[in-house]
Amino acid sequence: MNARVRGEERRAEIVRAALEVIAERGYRGASLAAVAERVGLTQQGLMHHFPTKDALLVAVLQERDRWDAVPDSRWRVDLLAALVEYNAMRPGIVQTFSALLGESVTDDHPARAFFSERYTRVRASMAEMLRSEYGDRLPNGLTPERTAPLLVAVMDGLQYQWLLDPASVDMPGAFRDFLRLLGERPD
Amino acid sequence: MNARVRGEERRAEIVRAALEVIAERGYRGASLAAVAERVGLTQQGLMHHFPTKDALLVAVLQERDRWDAVPDSRWRVDLLAALVEYNAMRPGIVQTFSALLGESVTDDHPARAFFSERYTRVRASMAEMLRSEYGDRLPNGLTPERTAPLLVAVMDGLQYQWLLDPASVDMPGAFRDFLRLLGERPD
DNA sequence: AACGAAACCTACCAGTCGACAGGTGACCGA
DNA sequence: TCGGTCACCTGTCGACTGGTAGGTTTCGTT
């Protein structure tokens, strides 16, 4: 069993390194050799754990899934603001998945289906959260279903502006501004 | 002079082809050979017009600059909505620059400075537009300067959701929803 | 002590990449 | 008609890509 643990630890190390390299170069630009070197392996040593480059990407995306797999019903608007604040302290992770999202809109990208399904899921989750928070009508008159895409868009869009120019963009502050836009909370 | 015209037409053809290939593969994935083939040239023939790959990218970005170089003062919120509607009819262009934006957040990307400066410029332009439309305070209490990043973020974020799943995301509609969020227009 | 699997290696491979060198033909102004 | 510039070509290069084949070492289990 020690062997199994050691193997899984190695896999985790590799995924961590892959996150870094993807942040720096994107997925297409991330070579297996570069990832391998970062964990002190040869490219072929890495391919013992992940038989193809796509297999490694799948592991990276699963890592993301594990990250935001918080029970939907527990989400609240103020927790979302806290998440944005947390993200602002991890530029690396944000950069990885912003780069990946950008690439995914190109044809036949291996991460396309992942992101497509993820957004469908996240929008539904956000709508549910908004409904439990505000009811069927937000203070501004919109429905939760029509607000959810905007909420998601603001989060993503702010990330790009912030990554490109962290000094000029106060990502958490701007997000709180948007929440205020949604309507005063019924505290 | 006929020669000069012919040369510039060729260059324009190449840039157009590059826009397509970048939309399909991203900048890193767009090979000069693929672009060249699309205009019926060899890779070396293309490099007669653009000595390096980066030179081609510069031309592509200048094309974009020319696109949205509309006099700031003439922008109005409703024109912005019309722009989004127009974009919804050109998935290709949207895909090109969404892919480019995504890549640009990676380290040392040749388009990084372009996007960084562009967003600074666009935010200022949007703030100016909002001020001329609403005054120093929006109906919801925010200032134009704090609203501008949100406006830009919504436009970009919606594009990604729309590109990934055009059937589920009504980009122009969602954008109009956001405008309504900003406050009823003082018609 | 023997065995098997897991971990990792060296050695290759064919293909692709951007770029450089140098040539050829067409057109154009003098 | 001549000289030159422009538009393109063929040929070639070294670096790198992901992937395959086939070893060797390490180590826990029996």
Strand D–CB A51 distance below 7 A: yes
CA distance B23 to B29: 10
Q: Is the pLDDT of residue A82 over 50?
A: yes
Backbone CA torsion sign across A149, B171, A138, B137: positive
CA distance A172 to A166: 11
CA distance A117 to B176: 25
CA distance A47 to B28: 23
Strand D–CB A30 distance below 7 A: yes
Residue A84: closest CA among A68, A62, A104, A71? A68
The tens digit of pLDDT for each residue in B32-41 reads: 999 999 999 9
The per-residue pLDDT for B2 is: 63
Residue B97: closest CA among B27, B174, B170? B27
The per-residue pLDDT for A4 is: 65
Q: From residue B73, how far is each of A79, B126, B128 by CA, in Å? A: 39, 10, 8
B97, B125, B161: which to substitute to probe chain A, counting the most A Cβ within 10 Å?
A: B161
Query: B90: which 2 tokens?
Result: 């050109």
Which residues in chain A have Cβ-Cβ distances shorter than 8 Å to B84?
none
The tens digit of pLDDT for each residue in B63-100 reads: 998 877 665 667 788 899 999 999 999 999 999 999 99
> If you average pLDDT over residues A80-106, what whole number do you get?
97
Q: Tokens 């024109």 correspond to what residue? A: B79
3-class secondary-structure state, position A180: helix
Contact criterion met (CB < 8 Å) for A160 and B156: yes
Phi, psi of A122 (to 5 degrees): -65, -40
The per-residue pLDDT for B66 is: 83
Query: Stated in angstroms, how far is A97 CA from D4 C1'?
Result: 54
Q: Tokens 């396309």 correspond to what residue? A: A112
The tens digit of pLDDT for each residue in B127-181 reads: 999 999 999 999 889 999 999 999 999 999 999 999 999 999 999 999 999 999 9
How many Å from the N-terminal Cα to the C-terminal Cα in chain A?
Answer: 52
The answer to whether B136 and A137 have CB atoms below 8 angstroms apart is: no
- Considering chain B, what is the average pLDDT of its residues? 93
The reply to whether B97 touches chain A by the CB within 8 Å rule is no
Number of cross-chain residue pairs from A and B with Cβ atoms under 8 Å apart: 163
The per-residue pLDDT for B164 is: 98
Give me the DSSP letters along A111-170: THHHHHHHHHHHHHHHHHHHHHHH-SS-TTS--HHHHHHHHHHHHHHHHHHHHH-TTT--
Residue nearest to nucleotide D26 (CA to C1'): A3
The tens digit of pLDDT for each residue in A40-65 reads: 999 999 999 999 999 999 999 999 98
Which residues in chain B have Cβ-Cβ distances shorter than 8 Å to A122?
none
The answer to whether A165 and A141 have CB atoms below 8 angstroms apart is: no
Neighbours of A54 (CB within 10 A): 12
Strand D–CB A42 distance below 7 A: no
Number of H helices, E strands in chain B: 9, 0
The reply to whether A177 touches chain B by the CB within 8 Å rule is yes
Neighbours of B4 (CB within 10 A): 8
Strand D–CB A31 distance below 7 A: yes
The per-residue pLDDT for B183 is: 80
Of A24-28, A96-100, A179-183, B70-74, where does mean pLDDT reach its minimum? B70-74
Contact criterion met (CB < 8 Å) for B169 and A149: yes
